[in-house]
Chains A and B, each alone.
Chain A
Amino acid sequence: MSDDQAPKDYKESFIHLEYQYTAGSATTTFLNQVKEGRLVGQSCPKCKAVYVPPRGSCPRCGIATSIEVPLTDKGCVESFTVVHIPIPGNPIVPPYVCAMIRLDEADISFLHLVQDIEIDQIRIGMRVQAVWKPKDEWTHSLENIKWFAPIDEPDVDVSTLRFKPS
């Protein structure tokens, strides 16, 4: 339990717990599509907000998001940060760009990487598209998308992206 190198002022207490993760139906459905290279969101039957990745609910309305909405793998950078420090357990070498990616037609963003561009050229509103791994490496994970890369389209005014219920 304790390790001889440890300084005198604390003792190590090892806690090891094993779990079985189950993804739930909304996430399973989404990741099954991701494995085939498709991004499919879900929309709220009431306010029509489109969620990706879907988690099975619209927290605005407190109801299930039952309608599947196929999405493109294009979108824009809603905002971003440049990570300069190594994060324990994260194999990506800094500096790298972690961005809020808002897919076209989606009403929330998710975090992903942006590459294939000089870091100081990245800007809010920049248009990007997913760069997928080779098909034979696809699994049930958004890591099938290596990162998002810029595409030659005019920037978006992100203030127009705010969701308005229909």
Chain B
Amino acid sequence: MKKVAVVGYAQHKILPNAGALNEVELIMPVVHKVFNDLGISQDDIGFTCSGSCDYLQGAAFAFVEGLSAIQTSPPIKESHVEMDAAWALYESMLKIKMGDADTALIYGFGKSSPGNLDSIISLQMDPYYISPLWPDRVSLAALQAQILLQQKIITHDEMMATVIEARNNAANNPNALLTDHVSEDLYQADSLISSPLRGFDCPPISDGASAMVIASEDKAFEFTDNPIWIEGIDHSIESSNLGSRDLATSPTIQNAITNLNLKNINFDVAELHTQFSHEVPFLRKLLNLTNVPTNLSGGPLVGNVMMCAGLDAIGKTFQSLVRDQSDHGIAHASSGPCLQHNMVVHLERHK
């Protein structure tokens, strides 16, 4: 099977409200940025794939609008997932592995500011039994947080430390939306939105876009001296029946650990698509990352572009490995309530 490398990644500055910018105006700068970094154009791209969600901005076919940001003459090989763009990366990787393309452009975009994300996310749930009760995204996440706390898998202190660390790390991330320092006192004084989650435990409403270029073994070195290889990638989904899941663990993360043989790898860096603070210590323990620098970008707690934050975790890991000349990175993308669908990516600098 062909090996596939990440060769470029660009992220729009995360905005609280990108009102002035439509999806085209968000996507185009990041696509141009990643092309310019690599000295390439759409003509060098064999496959293009995007991730987005119509309901975020309330427009059917948001991705069709977004495609206007891309050069499509002559017509391009292109597809779209109504998922986080991390899954657009997955699809693109399959295209390269099968030999249908040597290179791929992946982009994701999301504007959460136009709508009410809480009620929109209710519509991800079972439409007969659950969404008519309009559970919001924070309350759903809180159900898992409560179980993790009760079973002492994580602690309140770990959640607080996660928030403080995320804000501190954000200072080094020029694209982060929230960079204000949070003290222990400030955290403790914050009100509970859905217990046990405070406002600080939740990600900000964010608008943005990101783009990535990946390439086959044959092409990667034409584009960059620093390809970062997708050494392993695995994803799987858990039951839609929230009440039948064991929320104290994650069988899909366990799948990835086994399938990617992660046990004996010493990771230098990790970026996790953890939208809520409790998910960070939970996943770090599951993935054996307690001593691995995690979410150096600040992660979703300092900027959470829906449909893009999973791709961003992969992109930020790529950037860390290039910048620090380190060897092994692990990235995680997620979808659905209480980490229902998880992807784990093992990135490696050396071939």
Contacts and interface: CB of A to CB of B under 8 A. Distances in A.
Nearest to A20: B114
Interface in B20-46: 20-22, 24-25, 28, 31-32, 42
Nearest to B72: A59
A22 B20 contact: yes
A79 interface: no
A111 to B, nearest CB: 16
A17 B115 contact: yes
Nearest to B67: A59
Interface residues of B, number: 31
Interface in A35-80: 55-57, 59-64
Given A24-B21, A59-B67, A19 B28 contact: no
Given A24-B25, A62-B31, A19 B58 contact: yes
A19 B62 CA distance: 14
Contact of B22 (A13, A27, A60): A27
B22 A62 contact: no
A141 interface: no
A117 interface: no
B182 interface: no
Nearest to B41: A62
A61 B71 contact: yes
Contacts of A63: 28, 32, 71
Interface in B70-116: 70-73, 113-116
Interface of A: 1, 13, 15, 17-28, 55-57, 59-64
Interface of B: 19-22, 24-25, 28, 31-32, 42, 55, 57-58, 65, 67-73, 113-116, 119-120, 123, 127, 131-132
